[in-house]
Amino acid sequence: MDNYGTHKRPSTRAWLDAHPRFHVHFTPTSSSWLNAVERFFSEITSKRIRRGSFPSVPRLVKAIVDFVDEYNAKAKPFVWTKSARTILARIKKCQAIYGSLH
């Protein structure tokens, strides 16, 4: 889960407590990998899906696959700008602030 407060509501906590097979994993604020995923979905939505017309699910799937193929043809490797030590320290700080759900 992201850091939004929904999972901290008493009703949500009660549901999670009543369903122990579900284990909640906290994602710290500004998680780099999550931001990258959200950014990709935003790009595919704005550049291919939003104004498209898809008369069938297979046509929509083809449009998505074509976009991914075109995107990957021009892809560049992602370069981390922070060290693993810095990232892990930030996670530890967030856990100290927000605590653990279980």
How confident is the prediction for the chain on average, in pLDDT? 84
How far, rounded to the nearest angstrom, does the alpha carbon of residue 101 sit from its chain's CA centroid? 19
What are 100's two structure tokens?
């653990």
Q: What is the pTM of this model?
A: 0.51
Domain ranges of the chain: 5-98
What are 7's two structure tokens?
């999972």
Q: Which of 54, 49, 51 is nearest to 68 (CA)?
A: 49
Question: What digits encode the pLDDT tens for the residues 21-62?
Answer: 988 777 766 666 777 888 889 999 999 999 899 999 999 999
